[in-house]
């Protein structure tokens, strides 16, 4: 994001020098703190982005408890749980990548990040299988709803919430994966060290947020 890596020298310890400090910061710590704080603020906005969906979920659940119950039983508990484990594990590898990058072990960090990206991809594949099932069954939102097994009123609304929540979440998974790939490439170039690891940290924070959202979505959609 800052100066290109080619202009920077390799230190004896085996990682690149940190990019030059932007002119308006006095110390690198101040810069890092600013980047981290900015990321946390952004995560705050993400929490509120999902707030509307969750509010809608609880509102409609209170209107149509039977339909939500029925529809929730039609989701694949196995795939949902599997996806939960995938995301939790990818969160672990991202956290470990952060640790390794901070200690200058760029190669380890690279492989850990790639593992996370793979798990993210796995998550999306499983999601795609679930979506496919819904499309075949006609368990679709709004006017496309033609799923006969939901006998109580409110079925179409459940699927609006379901598709919007998981769709928005999947979009975040895609963005998160792109961020992870981007920092993984920079790990491959050995850019990170104790003096400079903000990109890994911030991409990791974003990925953890994706995990957080799923931690709530999983029980609300699949279990309750």
Q: Restricting to residues 16-75, which ones interact with other proteins according to CB under 8 A?
A: 22-30, 33-34, 36-38, 40-56, 58-60, 62-65, 69
For CA atoms 84, 87, 92, 95, give the dihedral sign.
Answer: negative
Encoded tokens for 133: 């099932």
Shortest distance in whole angstroms from residue 200 CB to other proteins: 12
Segment lying near other proteins (by CB under 8 A), choices 3-11, 114-122, 151-159, 177-185: 151-159
By CB under 8 A, tell whether 91 contacts other proteins.
yes
How big is the site for other proteins, counted in residues (CB under 8 A)? 89
Convert 187-219 to b/e letters by CB count within 10 Å (16 or more is b). beebbbbeebbbbbbbbbbbbbbbbbbbeebbe
Instruction: Give the Cα separation of 108 and 118 in Å (integer).
Output: 15
Which among 105, 103, 119 has a CA at the least distance from the CA of 177?
119
Nearer to other proteins, 92 or 174 (CB): 92
Shortest distance in whole angstroms from residue 215 CB to other proteins: 5
Segment lying near other proteins (by CB under 8 A), choices 5-13, 85-93, 123-131, 184-192: 85-93
First and final C-alpha spacing in the chain: 43
By CB under 8 A, tell whether 188 contacts other proteins.
no
Instruction: Give the Cα separation of 7 and 218 in Å (integer).
Output: 46
Nearer to other proteins, 1 or 128 (CB): 1
Which among 202, 161, 178 has a CA at the least distance from the CA of 68?
161
By CB under 8 A, tell whether 10 contacts other proteins.
no
Q: Token match 């900015």: residue?
A: 38
Of these, 9, 12, 13, 148, which contacts other proteins (CB under 8 A)? 148
Shortest distance in whole angstroms from residue 209 CB to other proteins: 8
Site for other proteins in 95-134 (CB under 8 A): 95-96, 98-99, 102-103
Nearer to other proteins, 156 or 199 (CB): 156
Please list the alpha-helical segments (H only) found in 28-154.
28-63, 65-73, 77-102, 106-137
Shortest distance in whole angstroms from residue 164 CB to other proteins: 7
């Amino acid at each position: 994001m800052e100066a290109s890596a080619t202009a920077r020298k390799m230190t004896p310890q085996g990682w690149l020098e940190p990019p030059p400090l932007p002119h308006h910061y006095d110390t690198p710590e101040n810069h890092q703190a600013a980047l981290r704080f900015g990321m946390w603020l952004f995560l705050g906005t993400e929490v509120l982005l999902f707030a509307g969906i969750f509010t809608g979920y609880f509102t409609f659940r209170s209107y149509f408890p039977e339909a939500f119950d029925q529809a929730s039983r039609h989701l694949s508990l196995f795939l949902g749980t599997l996806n939960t484990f995938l995301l939790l594990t990818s969160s672990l590898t991202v956290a470990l990548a952060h640790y390794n990058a901070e200690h200058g072990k760029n190669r380890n960090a690279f492989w850990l990040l790639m593992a996370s990206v793979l798990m993210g991809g796995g998550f999306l594949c499983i999601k795609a299988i679930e979506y496919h099932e819904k499309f075949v069954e006609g368990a679709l939102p709004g006017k496309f709803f033609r799923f006969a097994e939901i006998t109580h009123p409110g079925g179409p609304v459940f699927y609006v919430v379901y598709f919007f929540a998981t769709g928005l979440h999947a979009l975040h998974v895609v963005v998160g994966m792109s961020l992870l790939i981007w920092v993984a490439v920079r790990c491959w170039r050995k850019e990170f060290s104790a003096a400079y690891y903000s990109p890994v940290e911030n991409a990791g924070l974003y990925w953890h947020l994706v995990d957080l959202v799923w931690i709530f979505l999983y029980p609300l959609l699949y279990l309750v």
